[in-house]
Amino acid sequence: MELLNPLSSTDFPARIITYTGTAGVTGTWPAGPQGVVVWSDQSCYIQIGEGVTATTACTPIPPFTPIPFKVPAGTGAPWRVSAIQVSTGGTIYCKPINIQ
């Protein structure tokens, strides 16, 4: 079984954002983490990567279910998480991780 390894809260702090019919975006994290755990209090669509903004064509996630996602390979620029509602606005929690 693979274990999740939360990274330093100083270098890779957890971020909480709200979203509605307009996408919300976290602040950025520097390149480095292998993944990010995301969970929401409402069903939403999310996108993860450099300069992303979620749309209804993105990955849907159910509420109250922590889901680990791989951070896509990019240019090495800072990356972020974006979310937009399925039908009701809400809040997402995001924490960068590595897999051990």
Which phi and psi angles does 45 have, rounded to 5°?
-105, 140
Residue whose structure tokens are 């998480």: 81
Mean pLDDT by 10 residues, the chain (100 residues): 64 94 96 94 98 97 96 92 98 90
Q: What is the pLDDT of residue 5?
A: 61
Please state, in angstroms and rounded to a whole number, the distance separating the CA atoms of residues 77 and 85: 26
